[in-house]
Amino acid sequence: MSFSKLFCKNEPGGGKRERRKEARPGELLDAALDLFVEKGFAATRVEEVAARAGVSKGTLFLYFPSKEELFKAVVRENISGRFKEWGEEFQTFEGTGADMVTYCMNAWWDRVGATRASGITKLMMSEATNFPELASFYQQEVIKPGQSLIRRILQRGIDRNEFRPLDLDYAVYSLIAPMMFLILAKHSGGVCARDDIVLDPKKYIASQLGVILQGISATAAPAPATAPSPHLPT
């Protein structure tokens, strides 16, 4: 259930003036998302949010009782609760495990990573400790469904003898970490990747897939036992 649905009617009817009026909360949420992602919660001023949405400071408080509630609305609004939908998609998926992983990562990028909503990931990272209830919400709505989905994909590949046996509790991160990193790189002003080499998302995903798929393939030679580092100094 999307928060903005409560306000933003999709019917195109009505004059431009009226549509704007009705669109206010959505515009505020959009503006707030951008600013919260860019500057963080505390460093974002409500007046700036209002200004970017083209309304006055007071108007913001007509729709959101406080800055904190605005923040929560931004997060809730932009959390893709689409995992059930995706789950069903994969239920009927016909193809190899590799296809499925490939499709999954690309779809995630296209539908979430590449959109403004992906900023929520950075936001949650930065603000989780300041908003524990949002963190819980995020756990329930994103982390757990997301991991479940990935587990099922990997399990399917293992069952089909396409992937080698894996400890799924940890293997999921072989898919999650690269995607998370990509999203963060996009929103973190160049402190994740080199700022002098453009990071092309599609190439990045292809590169990661190349490693991961070979890395979990059942047909590939097993990786050498991870020997303890020979002479690790303190």
Q: Which of residues 46-85 bind DNA (CB under 7 A)?
A: 46-47, 55-59, 61-62, 65-68
Output the smallest distance, CB 51 to DNA, in A: 9
Contacts of 188 (CB under 8 A, 6+ apart): 122
Residue 88 token pair = 């069903």
Output the smallest distance, CB 49 to DNA, in A: 8
Output the smallest distance, CB 218 to a second copy, in A: 10
d(CA 202, CA 178): 12
Output the smallest distance, CB 55 to a second copy, in A: 19
Contacts of 108 (CB under 8 A, 6+ apart): 179
- Please, which of residues 1-20 interact with DNA by CB under 7 A? 14-18, 20
Contact, 166 vs 216, CB < 8 A?
yes
Gyration radius of the chain's alpha carbons = 21
- Please, which of residues 4-43 interact with a second copy by CB under 8 A? 38-43
Cα-based distances in Å from 133 to 54, 127, 136: 30, 11, 5
- Number of chain residues interacting with a second copy (CB under 8 A): 81
Output the smallest distance, CB 11 to a second copy, in A: 22
Phi, psi of 36 (to 5 degrees): -60, -40
Q: Sign of the C-alpha dihedral, residues 161, 163, 167, 173?
A: negative
- Please, which of residues 67-96 interact with a second copy by CB under 8 A? 89, 95-96
Q: Which is nearer to a second copy, 6 or 220 (CB)?
A: 220
d(CA 45, CA 141): 28
Q: Kindly tell me which residue out of 128, 156, 160, 186 binds a second copy, with binding defined by CB under 8 A.
A: 128
d(CA 57, CA 46): 7
Name the binder of 132 from a second copy, DNA, none, CB < 5-8 A by kind: a second copy
Indicate whether 139 belongs to the interface with a second copy (CB under 8 A). Answer: yes
Q: Which is nearer to a second copy, 5 or 45 (CB)?
A: 45
Indicate whether 24 belongs to the interface with DNA (CB under 7 A). Answer: yes
Positions that interact with DNA (CB under 7 A) = 14-18, 20-21, 24, 44-47, 55-59, 61-62, 65-68
